[in-house]
Structures are given as C-alpha cells and as structure tokens.
Structure 1
Amino acid sequence: MDLMSGVAITKQIYDLLQTIKEGRDQKLVSDAAGNLSEKITALQMLNTELSGFYHSECQKTMKLSQENSKIKMFISNIEHYALHKTPAGSITYIPKDTPDNEVPLYYACAHCYQKAIVSMLQPDKRDSGFHMLYCPECKNKFKQSLIPLKSPNMPNPFRY
C-alpha cells in the first residue's frame, strides 16, 4: 500500500459513515458498517506500514549523521599526520611534529587510515629478521626495522 491508497480508503470510510448516518434501510446500514470495518482494518495496516517506513528512515538518517560527523572529525585531524616509510620499507603514517613533542612518536596503520580510522600499530613478534608491528584493528603486519646481526666476533647461529 502507498499513501494514495490511504487517501482513497479514508474517502471510502467517509462515504460509508455518511451512508450509515443518513441510512433508513437496516440492510444498507449493516452492509456499510461491515465495509467500514474492513476499511478501518486496511487503514490500520497502512498506518503500521508507514510507521515502519518512518522508523527505518529515521535510523538511516541517524546512521548517516553519525558517519558524517566521523568523516568531518577525521578530516579535521588528517592534517596532523604524514606518510612515513619505516627503515624496513613499510608505509605507515606518523603524527607530524607537535609543539614541545607532547605526543610521543607512534606509527598509524596506512590501511585503516584510508578508512578514516587512526589505529596505532603495536609491537609484534620478530619475523624473518625484522622487528614487526601489527594493527589491532585490521590485523595487518608491518616490518619496522631490520634486526641487527650479532657482532662479527660472535658466530652467526643462522649460518650452517
């Protein structure tokens, strides 16, 4: 059903009420009362459907408003970060210099950053001779730096 159906049903209800009000014939009044009951039920169903549509649209509007706020906040913060290549070659973001270095240096995940999320990379297990970082949000891993080899006087345990 749509809004025009609701208008049509309302007109039919009005006509049936006029028939009942002006009716002198009991059969005609009974038939009109039965039709009136059907039309009222149809109108109630339309009202329920419209109420559901209204609630759904309100939820969509609220969600879009929240996403819009999130995007605006990210855009206002984006100027505080710069692309950075770790010593091992991974691409991340780092905060730009702040006055008096009040924010400690940290790496932000480039993958999450593209989705308007600033996720601080965390230390991970060493892997293939590199210090590793991982993103707690998307679980990507980044090579931070090469693990230095032992001093030349010490034997390399990885050499056979």
Structure 2
Amino acid sequence: MISEAMAGASALKTAFDMAKALKDISDAAIRNGAVIELQEKILSAQEAQFALVKRVDDLEKQVASFEAKGSQMQRYQLKDYGAGSFAYELKESEARGEPIHRACAACYQQGHISILQFSHNTEGQDWYECKRCNNMHHFGTRVPRTYSRTKTDYF
C-alpha cells in the first residue's frame, strides 16, 4: 500500500514538473509529445489512487467483519458441565429470541460457532455431536450400570 502511494505521488510530481516545462516549449511537435507523456503520468497517478481506494475499502470491510464476528463470539460464555465437559453456551441476556444452546468449545477457540446437536443418551450422559468438527461431547455424570446374571436369566 505504501509503494502504491509513493508511485502515485511520484507520478503527480513528474506531471507537475512536466506541466511547468510545457509553457516554455515553442515547437508544437515537442509540446504535443510532452502533453501525451503528461497524460500518461496523470493516468498512472489515477490508477495508483484507485488501487489505494480499493485497498482501503477492502480493509474497512475486513475490519467490519472482524468486529461483527467478535460481537457474535461475545454472546457466548464457557460453561463447566461437570465430569470434564465444557462447552460455550449462549448467554440468556444475548438470546434475542434464539433458544439457549451449546457451542463446541474446540470450534469456538478457532473462531467458529458450531451448535452442538443432540445424538443420544447412555448411562446418564447426554451425547452431542459437533457437525463442523465431528467430535462427540458428553454432558452429565456417567452412571455405570452393573448387571448380575443368574442361571435363571438365561431361561
């Protein structure tokens, strides 16, 4: 971006110097050649200016995108669901009509909100799947089942 600005400034300075020199040229052919060269320098400066304007516009859009994403991410808070289970949960104050839901902690750390989808329940734990990273997450304390079998269980 700095090189584009320098090129534009250099082209404008050259164009200014050429314009000053034009007033002293009496030969029409030489003057016409200088006018053409001056027009080329002006065009070059305009192209550099256009490139700078486009770059600034792109950067402004990028900043706006980062700000919007940051605002979206701030709507969630990390929550401990016990038994080593963590997820980001939509803050009640930020719901704006959305149901309270959980987001994958791994995806959140990478800057993405991926809503966890219920998969199944086993031994007292609810299992959720992240459709973005395909990880399974368990919530709740596991309650192992014990089975005692007798001979009468088989008949």
Which amino acid in the other structure matches residue 28 of structure 2? Answer: Q
Following superposition, the deviation at residue 50 of structure 1 comes to: 1.2
Cα 1:146/1:113, change in 2 over 3 Å: farther
Cα 1:150/1:106, change in 2 over 3 Å: farther
Aligned residue for 2:53? 51
Following superposition, the deviation at residue 148 of structure 1 comes to: 4.8
Asked if 1:63 is matched to 2:57, the reply is: no
Matches within 5 A, 1:77-156: 78=77, 82-85=79-82, 91-93=85-87, 109-112=104-107, 114=109, 117=113, 119-124=115-120, 132-143=127-138, 145=142, 148=145, 152=149, 155=153
Which amino acid in the other structure matches residue 84 of structure 1? Answer: Y
Following superposition, the deviation at residue 12 of structure 1 comes to: 1.8
Cα 1:92/1:12, change in 2 over 3 Å: closer
Following superposition, the deviation at residue 29 of structure 1 comes to: 0.8
Unaligned runs of 5+ in 2: 93-98
Which amino acid in the other structure matches residue 43 of structure 2? Answer: T
> Is the Cα contact below 8 Å between 1:132 and 1:142 reproduced in 2?
yes
Deviation string 1:53-106 (CA, Å, 9 cap, x unpaired) is 1122112211221133123333xxx2xx63123xxx5624497xx9xxxxx997
> Given the alignment, which residue of 18, 25, 33 partners 1:16?
18
Higher relative contact order (CA 8 A, sep 6+): 2
When the two structures are superposed, what TM-score results if normalisation uses the length of structure 1?
A: 0.60
SS in 2 for 1:2: helix
Following superposition, the deviation at residue 36 of structure 1 comes to: 0.9
Following superposition, the deviation at residue 20 of structure 1 comes to: 3.1
Identity of aligned residues (%): 19
Following superposition, the deviation at residue 46 of structure 1 comes to: 1.0
When the two structures are superposed, what TM-score results if normalisation uses the length of structure 2?
A: 0.61
The alignment's C-alpha RMSD in Å is 3.9
Cα 1:139/1:125, change in 2 over 3 Å: farther
Cα 1:108/1:10, change in 2 over 3 Å: closer
Following superposition, the deviation at residue 37 of structure 1 comes to: 2.3
Cα 1:152/1:71, change in 2 over 3 Å: same
